[in-house]
Structures are given as C-alpha cells and as structure tokens.
A and B are shown apart, each in its own frame.
Chain A
Amino acid sequence: MVDNNIILIAQQGNRKAIKVIYDDFAGKAFVICLRYAKRREDAEDMLQEGFVKIFHNIKQFDFKGNFEGWMRRVMVHACIRFLGKIEIYNDIEQPEFTNLKTNSPTIISELSEMEILALIEKLPNGYKLVFNMYVLDGYDHAEIAAKLSITESTSRSQLVKARRMLQSFLGKNNFEPQQVLKIVE
C-alpha cells in the first residue's frame, strides 16, 4: 500500500515517487489489463496507457477515497478506451450460445487466478467486457450500460451468457488451463 506522503510527492512530479507507485501497483494493474485484453501485447499497451493517465492526473486525486481504487478505475477506463479504439462495441451482441451447460460441477471461484484468466480470455469480447466489469471490477449494470452505451437489460443478458459460457467451458471438460494460459505467460 502506498503511503499518502508518497502520493503527495508524486503529485509534485517527483519521478522516484512515481516509480514507487508504479512498482506497487503495476502487477495488479497488469492483471486488470490481461483480463480485458485479447492479447498480451494489448495488455501491455493498456497498462502503459493506464499509468500515463494515472500519472498525468494524479493531482486530481483528493485523498477522499482509496488510492488504489482510484487507480483501478482509471486503469479499467483505459482498458475500455483501448478496446473502444478497435470497435469492440460492435460485437457486444454475440450470437446465442445454445449448448450451454449450467450444471457444471466445478465452481469457478475455486480455480486458480491463472486458470480463471485463461477462462475469461476464451470469452467473446462482449461477454468478457461485461463479466469483467460486473464481477471483477464492481460496476453495476447501470454503470456498464452508461459506459458501453447499451441498455441495462443487455448488460444483464451478456453477463448471464458469459456465466453460462464459462460454466460450459468447465462442464464440457474441454478446459485445459495449460493450453490456454499463453496470455499470462
């Protein structure tokens, strides 16, 4: 956890303080980016964009909230913006996934982080986006709808479909983490 004094110094533009903040948060931020990105290279670009945005706007952090929470939101925003540049929104409406199994014996939260990342990486862009925002980044459907310019009901349905697809990955027994973990390696 970064001390408030470090943040204050970083707000003055001190490069060492900025590096301390980067070192403290880069690992977690990279996970956020990996969750949203399709490729590892994209995640690195997202990370770069996010941190540049964080450091350019760090003076706006007013110490009223949690600094890491603030950075997370900026980072998520950078990811969404990055995806926006490649017109992600056009494929948010995915074709119905008909063969979904909902009675998978495996509970996703019991998987390791890397395994979950690998699962998420397999989701179509639209599902992945909503799943990430809602489940892992704490946005509600109204916020997601506003950010992605979709309706709340669309957001809900995307989430349901994402869950079903994840479960189906597990239930179909075709999930082999070692083969799909390329993104995080």
Chain B
Amino acid sequence: MREQDKKLKEKFQQYSIVPPETVWYKIEQRLSSKQRGLFFFQEIQKINFIASMVGLLLVMWLSFDQISSDMPTQSFNSESADNAKQDNTITDKVSVSQIANSSGDKLLKKPIRKAERIFFEKDQNINTNLSDRNGENTITNGELIEKGIVALDHFPLSDLMKQEESWVNTKERGNVYVSPEISILGLQKVSNQDAQLNFPAIVNKKITKPQNQYYLEVFTGAEYISRKLEAKSSEYNDFAVNRNETEKFVSSIQGGVLIGVNFPSKWSIAAGLNYSNETYLFNAKLNSSRWKTALVAVDTLFSNPQNPEIVYKSIQYTETGVLNTKVYNSLHSIQMPIKIGYSFSIPKMRINLFVGLNTGYLFYTRGQVADLKGSSQNIQYAHENNPYKLGINMNATTGISFAYLLNSSLAITMEPQIQIPIIGYSESTYPLLEKQTRYGLRLGLRYGLR
C-alpha cells in the first residue's frame, strides 16, 4: 500500500461525524421490535409444546385405568351368580347360570372402572337395534349376536341390574354403546329357554371392554409447497416481490411416524415426527436483475448473514456460466405434527377428519445442489462454507385420512392434507419471512398396538 494511502486510512480511522439522534431511535425501535417478535414466537412455541404435552397426558389418563372412587372393587364369582339366581327378577329373564359360567374367572378380578362401558365394536347399526328398549327389535337372530361383543361376565349380575338403567341411558353418548344384552336382561321378558336359544353369544363371547385403540403409523408422502415471502419492514418490499417472482418451492418428499389413539368416543389424537426433504426452484431469466436478486437472496437467506464473504459470491453466478434458468436447492426439515380427529366407519374403512398443528424445524446443512449446464462448481463451493441454518415455522393442518383395514390390526392409509401457515420461517436477522402453504398426500401403514 502506498504511503499516501496509509496516511489517508489512518486519518479516516479516527475521523468521526456525529450522526443525527433519530438514527439511534430507529435502531432502538428495530431492536425492540425484533425482541418482541422473538418473544412472541418463543411463546407460541412454548404454548405448542405445552399443548402437546397436555394432549399426551390426557391421552394417557383416558387410556389407562382410572379407578372410580364411587364404584367398589368387585369380582365375579359363583356366589354372586348364585345370588343372582335367587333373584326372581333375574331368573325370570335369562339363564343366569349360563351367563355366570360364560367367560372364566381370569377377566373378572379387576376393578370396575368408571370409564368402562360395554359396547359393540364391530357393527354399530346392529347394536342400535339390539339396544332397543321397547323390545320391538328383540334379538331373534343368533347371527346378530355373534357380531356383538358381550361383557356380561365382567360384572356381578346384581351390579349389572343396579347399573343397567344408567348404562342404557348412556347409549350412544359418543361412541359408547351399552350392551343390548344388558338392556334385554333388564327390560325384556326373555325366558331361560329363549335366552339359550337366542343368545348363545352371551354365553360364548369374550369380554371386550371399551378401550382406546393405540396405533403406530409409518408413512411416506409428497407435497407441493407454495411459498410466499413477506418483508418484515416496508423497505424490503421490493426484495420480497422479486424473490416471490423468481423462486418457488416445487416439492418435498417426506417420511415419518405417527403414534395415535382412537378413543371409543370416535375422537382421536395423534402426534409424530417426520423428515422432509424440500427442493425449490429458481425460475428466472439469466442475467436479469431479478435473477441476480434471487441468487443474492438465497445465499442471504441460508448463509450466515454475519459472513459477508458468502453473501456476495452469489453474484458471481451470473458471470460464471449459470446457463440454465433453473437452480434447485435442497433443504431438510424435521416436522412435528399433532392432530385431533373425528372418525367414522364404513365397511373395511375408517375415515378420520382431522385438524392440527405442524411445527417445522428447517435445517440447511450443506451446499446448494444446482442443476446447471454451466459451471456448477462455483455454486457448490460458495455454499460449502455455510454453517448450518435453522428456522422454525408453524402451520395449521387439516385433512382427511382413509384407513383401509387389511385385518384387525393392520391398515393401509391414504391422507390428503393441507397446511396453512401460521408462523413463517425466518432467521432473526433476515428481513424476510417465509410462509409455506403445503398440499400433500401421504401413504402409510397403520398397525394397531392394542
């Protein structure tokens, strides 16, 4: 460096001109707004996390045994059957001895649970008929009974009688069905002979308690992602407009797992984890100003804003042979969906309408992969120096899930869904906010855990 340059540089090193006070006020405002934004964002994340945890705890609470404080622990034994036998009311109605002997003792020494209900799990239409209290639809066909699951032997018969009225009244509250057999026992005049003839299932069927059905689902899928960039402040509006016009996401492929619970009430809750590889596309004319802006922008977005060396290398792309008009960039994200659904069934199919939240963690771990006819080396080199980046977003999700039952525990699922942005991806120092609307289709395999 020339001597004259050194003098000049030294001279300016210490030279100072006081800026107007308004500059500090503007800086202070921006620092405050960023902190507020970050605070709000962090709070939303906390709320989401807490909501997820509460949801899972609720699932666990509903799923596992809740001992009722107002119902004593009882067990079925021959004594209670004998007592029942002596009860004329009962013996007039059904063959208690057969009921008493029906299912063995192994299921019976359990506490009676408040949440426990007796229900038919396979064919609810038949249940409804069987539950008819007027006796008009009295079971006359043993085949119908076979489709039902009877739980008479789960309770001492005397208690059944005491509880019958309230149980019947809970019929079709949610998806809980009262055993029609109990209803018949309690209200219909059925002779012992009729009982033996018409209700063999009462004797033979195992108990099925109403219980939550847990499932594990492995899925894969594809998404079209429509991306919109928004400027955090008005001064970056043009920047956002340019990028919106020159870049767009085209697709993602993904895979993951879900664990969920179907409640007897038809409601369900599921949470999971999935990986998504997102590929986006630049679509701009070579050497146009927008192309240049876009390339600068993508580096800025995913490179370290603190590292000016990286950001401006992108401009080289226009001069070093980016001959193609498309550049692909590959990103990675981990997503945590949680969703609540309502199900209904048709033969062989369980259909679930759901809404939920999807929190995504975006990682940018390695270089841009460019599909270039020209020199791609520069692009890859420019990005290899980038540290990983992380951004977080949150989308609202809704969709419909079709589960085709292969057998009692295995189903194939198909799930079209849409995600609508609530909180966009952004680094705190970056002037743009990225909101993704996702249209996806997932295919999966669902295994019933119990």
Residues of the B chain whose Cβ atoms lie less than 8 Å from the Cβ of A48 = 23, 26-27, 30
Residues of the B chain whose Cβ atoms lie less than 8 Å from the Cβ of A19 = 24
Nearest A residue to B4, CB-CB: A109
Residues of the A chain whose Cβ atoms lie less than 8 Å from the Cβ of B429 = 53, 56-57
- In the complex, how many angstroms separate the beta carbon of A76 from the nearest chain B beta carbon? 8
Binds A, one of B148-156, B262-270, B307-315, B401-409: B307-315
Contact B18 A107 (CB under 8 A): no
Residues of the A chain whose Cβ atoms lie less than 8 Å from the Cβ of B13 = 28
Residue B89 at the chain A interface, CB threshold 8 Å? no
Chain B interface residue count, CB cutoff 8 Å, equals 44
Residue A148 at the chain B interface, CB threshold 8 Å? yes
Residue A31 at the chain B interface, CB threshold 8 Å? yes
Contact A22 B27 (CB under 8 A): yes
Give the complex CA separation of A151 and B24 in angstroms.
38
Contact A135 B308 (CB under 8 A): no
Give the complex CA separation of A53 and B308 in angstroms.
11
Interface size bucket, A side? 35 or more
Chain A contact surface mostly:
helix
- Residue-wise interface mask of A (74-111) relative to B, using a CB-CB cutoff of 8 A (1 in contact, 0 not): 10110011001101010000000000000000011100
Residue A44 at the chain B interface, CB threshold 8 Å? yes
Contact B17 A30 (CB under 8 A): yes
Contact B8 A44 (CB under 8 A): no
Binding site for A on B (CB under 8 A): 1, 4-5, 7-9, 11-20, 22-24, 26-28, 30-31, 34-35, 235, 238-239, 289, 296, 305-306, 308-309, 311-313, 315-316, 318-319, 428-429
Minimum-distance CB pairs A-B, first 4: A27-B16, A77-B308, A149-B315, A109-B7
Known: A48-B30, A56-B429. 14 other contacts (CB 8 A): A13-B35, A18-B31, A27-B19, A28-B16, A44-B20, A47-B23, A48-B26, A52-B31, A74-B306, A84-B312, A87-B289, A107-B4, A116-B12, A146-B316
A-B contacts, 21 listed (Cβ < 8 Å): A13-B35, A30-B16, A30-B17, A31-B12, A47-B19, A51-B27, A53-B306, A55-B27, A57-B306, A77-B308, A77-B311, A80-B308, A84-B312, A85-B239, A87-B289, A107-B4, A113-B11, A135-B5, A136-B12, A146-B312, A149-B319
Binding site for B on A (CB under 8 A): 13, 15, 18-19, 22, 26-31, 34-35, 44-45, 47-48, 51-53, 55-57, 60, 73-74, 76-77, 80-81, 84-85, 87, 89, 107-109, 113, 116, 134-136, 138, 146-149, 184
